[in-house]
Amino acid sequence: MKPAFDPVTLAIPFFILAIILEIVLTRLKVTRAHYETKDTMASLAMGLGSNVAGLLTAGVVVAATIWTYQHRLFDVPMTAIWAWIALFLLEDLTYYWFHRLSHERRFWWAAHVNHHSSQHYNLSTALRQTWTGGLAGTWILWLPLALLGFPPAMIAIQKGISLVYQFWIHTEAVGRTPRWFEAVFNTPSHHRVHHARNPRYLDRNYAGILIVWDKLFGTFQPELDEEACRYGIVKNLSGFNVLRVAFHEWIAMGQDVARHPRHALGYMFGPPGWSHDASRDTSATLRTQWEAGQGGEPEPQPEPHQAPQKAASA
């Protein structure tokens, strides 16, 4: 069921205009942003492909949501203000755990890693979305909202509002917002940390709209003036092939499972970087090495247009 009011569809012209404006202001040296033509085109291609992929799984998602709603525990009125406030909080909490799962377990990281694969951080990065999220099944996490009695259209609208909100936080053009806003909401400063590959910043700030979830569950990390964010993944990709961007981690995971079938579950559902012989680093081990002063910094990576020094993987 597609809602009559679709925030994402309505916001698409704004997204494009905002990206163009950020590029123009950067060229005029009015604001700060880093754009690379091929990188931006890859992000736009990923965004377009994500919409197409979403259509392929939409029938299953909608059918499952409607079926769940038909077995709802309560009747939540779509016209009640309290219902929208409750849904806002519950959907944002759901997003937090979806996002955290997508970083902490490799199977779902394989569907999410493409969003982090750009070595630049600008508004076009927000459009670098998954092609395989529907197949990975993370949409199941939102079914309890329908079970509680929130109408499917209402859930879809709130998810759209969350996605539209998260667009503007993908920028370096905005420094820090007022302290009261930084304390409650996800902001460009908080989300820059989330996209950074510095050991200090890895796997932090999973928030959608409210940063309070990270503070509540111990995953909050403020952006520090003394440590600039370095963007991308621990071992960055070279080139801009959108098929590689979309599927490289699925391929790498399949290769690991084929080579080590006895450890298949670990390679599929362990944290990204897990290996049966501990020969690879996870976010936790990189952070531990950094904290111990042993140099848990990722190796310097080539710029996207340069030849890689070694094979890249997530």
Question: What's the domain count of the chain?
Answer: 1
Residue 189 CA to residue 22 CA, distance in Å, equals 17
Q: Are 230 and 295 contacting, i.e. CB atoms less than 8 angstroms apart?
A: no
The torsion angles phi and psi of 231, rounded to 5 degrees, stand at -95, 160
- What single letter denotes the amino acid at residue 248? H
Q: Is residue 221 part of a domain?
A: no
pLDDT number for residue 6: 86
The verdict on residue 142 lying in a domain is: yes
**pLDDT < 70: residue spans in the chain:** 1-4, 294-314
DSSP assignment string, 132-150: SHHHHTGGGGGHHHHHHT-
**How far is the C-alpha of 205 from the C-alpha of 219, rounded, in Å?**
6
pTM of the model: 0.91
Measured CA distances, 8 to 2, 64, 96 (Å): 12, 22, 19
> Is there a domain that residue 26 lies in?
yes
Across the strands, what pairs with 231? 196
The per-residue pLDDT for 4 is 63
| Residue for token pair 């531990």 | 288
Q: Does the residue 29 lie in any domain?
A: yes
- DSSP output for 161-193: HHHHHHHTTS-SS-----HHHHHHB--HHHHHH
Are 128 and 46 in contact by the 8 Å Cβ rule? The answer is: yes
Cα 43 to the chain's mean position, in Å? Answer: 13
- Please report, as a single letter, which amino acid is at residue 157: I
Q: Is residue 255 part of a domain?
A: no
Inside any domain, residue 76: yes
Q: Taking Cα atoms as reference points, which of 18, 53, 59, 41 lies closest to residue 164? A: 18
Q: How far apart are the first and last CA of the chain?
A: 35
Distances from the Cα of 219 to the Cα of 74, 86, 196, 222, angstroms: 33, 23, 14, 10
Range of the domain at 147: 7-179
Sign of CA dihedral 273, 110, 210, 84: negative
Token code pair at residue 11? 């916001």
Per-residue pLDDT tens digits for 203-242: 999 999 999 999 999 999 999 999 999 999 999 998 999 9
> What's the pLDDT score for residue 300?
47
Q: Is residue 253 part of a domain?
A: no
- Length of the chain in terms of residues written: 314
